[in-house]
């Protein structure tokens, strides 16, 4: 048994897991870091500029601006979800990375907290990468748009916990296709990213409010445009609630797999 005097503090243990993922990610920095800067340009050129000729304005904004204010958050969502589904599953079942990590003086709880923190950091990085490209093209205003990075970080944490919860139920890696196709893709289209929620049929609007992404997109767009309303407090509470609830059950379930 390790003495409490020699056991590293909790923050250091979590950061050790984060740093391990950081070292692995930056080994191939160009192939890992370049796509987040290029993808928004391709998407905005293909969808924003093309659709912008037919749909000129949404919510009193040029359509390309409306679209651009939601894309940083979807980037954070997808990267965090991918990291904590395919990434976590491969480290757990195929590479057996966690077996070696748990031989160090860290617990399964520390390890999973480090996973969530790393996914949140990737959400921050990917959202800032998208914002940088949009600002470079003059689509979103500076410096307000960089505040969206905070929402990107929270979104990364939120979808990391959701993805880990899904991972705790999955027995084969192919099952993640249901999560991405049946859950994340509908959220991309029905959470206010590509068109306002007001355009949904009235019966579907309450359903859209249940989607976690809805609250992140609304916060990000408001910060981008410098709009502050009491509704943002509700969105923040919802995001923190999702992180807390799904994180609790995800860690509880995955700890059993890690110690088996």
The DSSP line for 180-194 is IIIIIHHHHHHSSSS
- Whether residue 120 lies inside any domain: the answer is yes
Structural domain range at position 135? 10-259
- Whether residue 89 lies inside any domain: the answer is yes
Structure tokens at 256: 């059993």
For 61, the 3-state DSSP assignment is strand
Sign of CA dihedral 214, 57, 226, 139: positive
pLDDT in tens, the chain (260 residues): 344 456 789 999 999 999 999 999 999 989 999 999 998 888 888 876 677 778 888 888 988 899 999 999 999 999 999 999 999 999 999 999 999 999 989 999 999 999 999 999 999 999 999 999 999 988 998 888 899 999 999 999 999 999 999 999 999 999 999 999 999 999 999 999 999 999 999 998 999 999 999 999 999 999 988 888 888 999 999 999 999 999 999 999 999 989 87
From the list 84, 93, 89, the residue with the least C-alpha distance to 121 is 84
Indicate the number of domains in the chain.
1
Phi/psi at 61 (nearest 5 deg)? -120, 150
Q: Which pLDDT does position 4 carry in this prediction?
A: 47
- Whether residue 1 lies inside any domain: the answer is no
Strands (E), 9-115: 57-58, 61-62
Q: Report the length, in residues, of the chain.
A: 260
For residue 137, give the DSSP letter.
T
CA within 13 Å, CB half, 240: 7
For 37, the 3-state DSSP assignment is helix
Q: Which pLDDT does position 6 carry in this prediction?
A: 62
CA within 13 Å, CB half, 43: 21
- Whether residue 2 lies inside any domain: the answer is no
Q: Which pLDDT does position 2 carry in this prediction?
A: 43
The answer to whether 174 touches 150, Cβ cutoff 8 Å, is no
Q: What is the CA angle 186-50-60, rounded to 5? A: 75
- Whether residue 21 lies inside any domain: the answer is yes
């Amino acid at each position: 048994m390790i003495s409490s005097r020699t056991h590293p503090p909790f923050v250091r243990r979590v950061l050790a897991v984060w740093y391990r993922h950081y070292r692995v990610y930056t080994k191939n920095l160009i192939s890992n870091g370049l796509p987040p800067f290029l993808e928004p340009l391709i998407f905005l050129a293909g969808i924003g500029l093309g659709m912008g000729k037919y749909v000129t304005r949404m919510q009193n904004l040029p359509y390309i601006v409306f679209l651009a204010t939601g894309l940083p958050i979807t980037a954070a969502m997808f990267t965090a979800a991918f990291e904590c589904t395919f990434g976590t599953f491969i480290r757990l079942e195929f590479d057996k990375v966690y077996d070696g990590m748990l031989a160090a003086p860290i617990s399964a709880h520390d390890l999973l907290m480090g996973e969530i923190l790393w996914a949140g950091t990737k959400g921050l990085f990917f959202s800032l990468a998208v914002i940088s490209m949009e600002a470079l093209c003059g689509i979103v205003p500076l410096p307000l748009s960089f505040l969206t990075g905070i929402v990107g970080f929270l979104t990364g944490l939120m979808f990391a916990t959701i993805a880990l919860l899904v991972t705790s139920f999955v027995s084969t890696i192919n099952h993640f296709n249901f999560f991405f196709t049946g859950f994340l893709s509908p959220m991309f289209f029905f959470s206010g990213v590509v068109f306002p929620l007001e355009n949904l049929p009235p019966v579907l609007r309450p359903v859209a409010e249940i989607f976690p992404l809805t609250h992140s997109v609304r916060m990000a767009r408001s910060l981008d445009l410098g709009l502050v309303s009491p509704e943002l407090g509700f969105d923040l509470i919802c995001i923190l609630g999702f992180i807390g609830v799904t994180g609790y059950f995800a860690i509880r379930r995955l700890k059993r797999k890690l110690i088996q």
